[in-house]
Amino acid sequence: MKTSGQLPHEKQDRPGSEAVLAFPDETDLRVYGPAESQSAVFGDVCPLLTSLLDGYNVCVMAYGQTGSGKSYTMLGPHSDDGPVLPLDPQSDLGIIPRAAEELFRLISENPSRSPKVEVSIVEVYNNDIFDLLAKDTVAAVSGVKREVMTAKDGRTEVALLASEAVGSASKLMELVRGGLQLRAKHPTLVHADSSRSHLIITVTLTTAACSDSTADQACSATLPREQTEAGRAGRSRRTSQGASAPQPVPGDPAGRAEQVQARLQLVDLAGSECIGVSGVTGSALRETACINRSLAALADVLGALSEHRSHIPYRNSRLTHLLQDCLGGDAKLLVILCISPSQRHLAQTLQGLGFGIRARQVQRGPARKRPPSSQMEGKRRPD
């Protein structure tokens, strides 16, 4: 994969892989070699955070075989303490800590919209969903099991999911570090610290609504000039492709201001695995079977969407059911493929590229802003 923003003569190669970044919502495709920096990869994610502040749902998902560098790309180098902020300019930290820091930087540049940030963290392990922020465990060695459901407004939610309000990037990453301590892991012949579950971090941002012109001014105030111009060009391209941004819901009769609620989902998928190569047995063998089945279900959903089938098999796996809104809904979706250059892993590499082809073939509808849901408030656990 890649490393972070180090000087050219100090760069260290990523842990044995390339990352191919696909943009299903756009026409672009980016390929990053082993010597590319983490900051270069994040450069393609950064504009999506501006979209989040504008009220759009966003999902960034890393896919690839075990040991190909997905967690490195999303989180950074493995550490018992987890990612630590603030970022050092030459840090190898990944997308998630960089996104946390950039999100709160953007918020600090335009605090007049009264932003509220909440975080929830779940893992999908052996096709069950576990809440990694739940507080009703005594000496937790794993999260609390939850069920996915469809809310009255049509959105997919996790019942009784714990969420916590955060006021800084450091607090957000503190929660992430706590969740990572509970994530299921098991050593294999391919990866000594192999993740055995899909990790989904959801950041929910609620802000006072603003007009498109106000949003453009906010972008100009918070982004470097070149990023602002690139973002405007991207918005122009999406508009020409039929993308639209509906007006936010009006203020309620009590006179409260209009609000926009948007979700950022950061997904570190467990790696696809060849049993003959990884050498797993016993409980780890069952984990591998569940991982491969859920990833196959994800590929099936993308295939069904790309072929415009009348039935999309979201419920074949709890992973795809949970990600239904971002896969076939109104979110801006970025898929990152992490692939190994090793001849030994050729079959898994070709499978990963096939997944990327399916993702790029999906013709998704225009991204839309989503209003806040009063039903969601009733389902959240009290702090």
Binding residues: 64-71
Cβ(348)–Cβ(355) under 8 Å? no
**Strand-pair partners of 200:** 122, 267
As a whole number of angstroms, the distance between CA 17 and CA 20 comes to: 10
Cβ partners under 8 Å of residue 277, min gap 6: 189, 190, 344, 345
Nearest to 360, CA basis, from 87, 136, 17, 28: 28
As a whole number of angstroms, the distance between CA 241 and CA 210 comes to: 23
Q: What's the DSSP call for residue 69?
A: S
Backbone φ and ψ of 269, nearest 5°: -70, 145
As a whole number of angstroms, the distance between CA 3 and CA 181 comes to: 23
The Cβ-side half-sphere exposure at 307, using a 13 Å CA radius, reads: 11
Q: Which two tokens stand for residue 245?
A: 């941004």
CA distances to 38, 195, 234 from 45, rounded to whole Å, are 11, 23, 13
Q: Which two tokens stand for residue 28?
A: 């672009």
For tokens 């994800």, name the residue: 298
Terminal CA-CA length for the chain = 38
Rg (CA), the chain: 20
Q: Which residues are annotated as a binding site for ATP?
A: 64-71
Please give the torsion angle defined by the CA atoms of residues 293, 294, 300 and 304, in that order, rounded to the nearest 10 degrees: 150
As a whole number of angstroms, the distance between CA 156 and CA 306 comes to: 21
CA 163 from chain centre, in angstroms, equals 17
CA distances to 238, 247, 312, 363 from 306, rounded to whole Å, are 19, 29, 10, 6
